[in-house]
């Protein structure tokens, strides 16, 4: 089940909801209004390879991997 972020247009409460289908009615848990809008959320992805991160020996390089 996908997890989406919503904002209630009535009370401006932002919340997450597990949604089974795109036609599901999403109700605000704070005020009970169904006037909600799906927000565009950013997600994090990881390759699982920490060794792919750049490193350097200089403290001014910006990678923080000195020493």
Question: What does the pLDDT look like over 11-24, one tens digit per residue?
Answer: 999 999 998 887 88
User: Tell me, which fold does domain 1-41 have in CATH?
Assistant: Rubrerythrin, domain 2 (2.20.28)
pLDDT band at 38 (very low <50, low <70, confident <90, very high): very high
Name the average pLDDT for the chain: 79
Mean pLDDT of 37-56: 70
Residue (of 41, 36, 42) closest to 11 by Cα position: 36
**Top-confidence residue, 64 or 38:** 38
């Amino acid at each position: 089940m996908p997890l989406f972020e919503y904002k209630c247009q009535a009370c401006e409460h932002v919340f997450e909801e597990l949604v089974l289908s795109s036609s599901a009615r999403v109700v605000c848990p704070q005020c009970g209004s169904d006037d909600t809008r799906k927000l565009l959320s950013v997600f994090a992805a990881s390759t699982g390879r920490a060794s792919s991160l750049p490193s350097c020996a200089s403290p001014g390089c910006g990678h923080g991997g000195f020493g």
